[in-house]
Structure 1
C-alpha cells in the first residue's frame, strides 16, 4: 500500500504546487511563469523529431501535464517516512532540490530567462516547491496512518 500512498501523496503535492503557481501567476504582479519553461522544452524536444504543435493551447496543456507528472514523481520520492526528523530534512531537501532544478532549467532552456529572472521569482518558486513538499508528506502521513488502522 505504501507505493500507492506515495503516488497519491506525490500527485497531491504536485497539484497543490501547480494550483498555487497558477493562482499567483494570475493575481500577483512579478510572479514566475514556470509554464514557459515546460512549453519551450516541449517545443524544442518535438522540433528535434519534426513534430510541430500549432495550437498554443495544445502546447500549454502538454507542458502542464508534463509539469504535473514530473513534479509528482519528484514529490513521491519524498513520501517515504513518518519519522519527524526525516520528514523535516526530506521536505526541505526535496523542496529546495525541485526549486533549484526548475530555476536552473529555466536558465538553460530559456536563455534570456524571464520565468525566474528576479530574486522575487526565485523565492516564490522555492516557496511553491516547499509548499508542494509539505502537502505531499502530509498526505502521505495521513494515508499511512489510515492504512495502519
Structure 2
C-alpha cells in the first residue's frame, strides 16, 4: 500500500505545483513561465532525432506531461515517513532541490532565460516546489493513516 500511497501523494504534489504555476502565470505580472523549460527540452529532443516541430500545442502538451511526471516522481521520493523531524527535513530538501534543479535547468536549456531570470521568478519557483512538497507529504500521511485503520 505504501508504494501506491507514495505515487498518489507525488502526483498530488505535482498537480498542486502545476496548478499554482498556471494560475500565477496567467494572473501575475512577472511570474515565472516554467513551461518554457519543458518546451525547450521537447524541441531539443525532437531536433536530435530529426523530427520536425509542427504543432506548438503538442509541444506544450508533451512538456506539461513531462513536467507533471517528473515532479510526481520527485515528490513521491519524499513521501516515505510519518516522523515529524524527517517530514520537515525531507519536505524542505525536496522542495528546494526541485526548485534549484528547475532554475538551473532553465539556465542550461534557455540561452536567453526568461523563465526564471529575476529574483522574483526564482522565489516564486521555490515557493511552487515547496508547496508541491507540502501537499505530497500531507497526502501521503493522510493516506497512511487511513490505510492503518
- TM-score normalised by L of structure 1: 0.99
Corresponding residue of 2:114: 114
Shift of 1:111: 1.2
Alignment of 1:1-149 (within 5 A): 1-149=1-149
Distance 2:75 2:21 in 1: 16
Distance 2:35 2:53 in 1: 16
Q: Secondary structure at the match of 1:54?
A: coil
- TM-score normalised by L of structure 2: 0.99
Shift of 1:63: 0.3
Distance 1:70 1:58 in 2: 18
**Which of structure 1's runs of 4+ aligned residues deviate more than 2 A?**
none
Comparing 19-28 and 43-52, the one that deviates more:
43-52
Unaligned runs of 5+ in 1: none
Aligned length: 149
Q: Secondary structure at the match of 1:131?
A: helix
Unaligned runs of 5+ in 2: none
Distance 1:5 1:22 in 2: 26
